[in-house]
Amino acid sequence: MSTSRRHFLKSAAASLVAAQKVGANDRLQIALIGAGGMGSGDTRYQLACPGVALVAVCDVYDGRLARAKEVWGNQLFTTRDYREVLARKDVDAVIIATPDHWHSRITIAALDAGKDVYCEKPMVHFVEEGKDVIAAQQRSGKILQVGSQYVSSLVYQKARELLQAGAIGQLNMVEAWLDRNTAIGAWQYSIPPDASPDNIDWDRFLGNAPKVPFEPVRLFRWRNYRDYGTGVAGDLFVHLLSGLHYATRSTGPTRVMATGGLRYWKDGRDVPDVMLALLDYPKTETHPDFTLALRVNFKSGVAEEQFGFRFVGSEGVIHTSPAGVTVSTVPPEAEPGYTIGTFTKAVQDQFVAEYRKKYAKTNATADALRPQKEDKYVPPEDHDAHREHHRAFLDSVRQRKPSIEDGVFGLRAAGPALLTNRAYFDKRICQWDPQTMTAT
C-alpha cells in the first residue's frame, strides 16, 4: 500500500474515532494554554458557543492561573506545564495562545496527544518549523485551525466574491496597511507589580530561547524581542497575508523585500516599529501576477489605528476597511487621446486626420468625463470575524470537516510574513516557493 494511501486510511480512521467521540450535540471540553489577552478572548468566544466547557488552563505566570479561576471558577485544573493539560483524557481541544516561540512545539505535542488545536497566528516562529506542524496535523488526523480571523470576515468574503467576478478588471497591485498609533497598539502592555521568580516559571517561558536572567518585561512585552516574538511581520503582516490569500485565493508570493527601522519606540525592543515590504505574486489559476505592498507604522501621525486594503485593478479599486468594502470602477478609455503640440502644424494636421479615421465616434476630451461608479458593502453591525472563526473551528471539530485555516494555509501566510523579517534583518531579497512552502 502506498504511503499516501496508508496515511489517508490512518487519518480517516482517526477522524472516525474522533467523530464518534465528539458528536454534534456532545459537550466539547477545551483547555487554554497561554492565558493572556488573546487566549482569554479566544476562550470567551468558544465558551459563548453551546455545549463547550473549559476544564483546564495553563500559564507560566501564576497570576494568570489565579485570574482564570476568578473568571471561570475554582473547579478548573490549572498548571504551569502544558504537558499536564495534554495528558488529560477529559480535554478534547486546546487553544494555544502563548508567545510565538512556543506555538509549533505545543501544537505538535497537542496534535500527537490526540487533541484538536486552535493555534494563534503566526503558526510558527521560524519558517522552517512549518513542515513539522503540517506533518503532525496529517499523521494525527486531528483538526488544526490557525487563528487569523480575517479568513472568517464578511469583508474579505465580499472582496473575494468581487475579485472572482472581475469587478475591477485585471488585478495588478495590492496595498495593505495596519498602522497602530497608541502605546498599547505598539505593545507597551502592562507589567503586573507582583511579577517575581516565585510566581513565574521563567525557564518554562524561555523554552528553547537563549537563557537570560529573570526580567519581567521580556515576558509581558515578549513581542518586542525576536527570541520570543516575530515583530510586526509575524504579529501584523501575517494577518494582512491571511486576508489577502483568502480574498485572492492565492498560495503566496515568490519574492520578498523589506525595509524600515526602529523610529519611535526605543524602549529596548530589537524589532522595527516602521516596516514596509514588497512581495511579488506570480500568476496562478485564481489571479494574474500582481505586486503587494505592506506597511506597518507604530506612530503614523494620526490618533487612531488605520487598517485597510486597496486591491487595484485595470478598471477599478476595491477598498476594504473595518467599516466595509467600497468598489469604485471606471470604464476603459474610449480613445487614447493625443499629445501633439510640439509637432509642426502640418504634422499635427496629419496626425489628427489619421486619428479621426480610427476614432471617429467620440473626441479625446470626452474621456475626462468617464463616469466613475461607486458601490459600498457594509457588513451587519453584529458581525464579528473572531466569533465566526471560533464557530468555524468548533464546527470542524464536531463534524470532523477540514479546517478553514489549516497548517498549509497557516504556513503559506506565516512563511512570507516571516521572510519580510529575514529580508529586513539580513538586508537581502528572499525567495519563497509557495507550492513547496520553502525559503530558498
- Contacts with ligand NAD, residue ranges (CB under 6 A): 33-39, 58-61, 64, 82, 97-100, 102, 120-121, 147, 149, 204-205, 207, 219, 222, 235
- What is the spatial distance between Cα 284 and Cα 266, in angstroms, rounded to a whole number? 42
CB of 158 to ligand NAD, least distance (A): 20
> Residue 33 or residue 327: which is nearer to ligand NAD going by CB?
33
CB of 8 to ligand NAD, least distance (A): 31
CB of 204 to ligand NAD, least distance (A): 5
CB of 416 to ligand NAD, least distance (A): 17
Q: Are 364 and 340 in contact (CB under 8 A)?
A: no
**Cell (9 digits) for 421:** 523579517
What's the Cα-to-Cα distance from 389 to each of 145, 386, 404, rounded to whole Å?
Answer: 9, 5, 9
> Residue 72 or residue 82: which is nearer to ligand NAD going by CB?
82
CB of 43 to ligand NAD, least distance (A): 11
> Residue 33 or residue 143: which is nearer to ligand NAD going by CB?
33
CB of 63 to ligand NAD, least distance (A): 9
CB of 33 to ligand NAD, least distance (A): 5
> Residue 107 or residue 287: which is nearer to ligand NAD going by CB?
107
Query: How distant is the alpha carbon of residue 63 from its chain centre?
Result: 29
**Cell (9 digits) for 216:** 519581567
- What is the spatial distance between Cα 417 and Cα 415, in angstroms, rounded to a whole number? 5
> Residue 98 or residue 421: which is nearer to ligand NAD going by CB?
98
- What is the spatial distance between Cα 188 and Cα 288, in angstroms, rounded to a whole number? 40
CB of 101 to ligand NAD, least distance (A): 8
> Residue 118 or residue 281: which is nearer to ligand NAD going by CB?
118
Query: Whose CB is nearest to ligand NAD?
Result: 36
> Residue 39 or residue 252: which is nearer to ligand NAD going by CB?
39
> Residue 16 or residue 323: which is nearer to ligand NAD going by CB?
323
CB of 92 to ligand NAD, least distance (A): 19
Starting at the earlier edge strand, list the strands of the sheet with 93-96.
Answer: 77-79, 52-58, 28-33, 93-96, 116-120, 144-147
Nearest to 159 by CA among 240, 235, 275: 240
> Residue 97 or residue 241: which is nearer to ligand NAD going by CB?
97
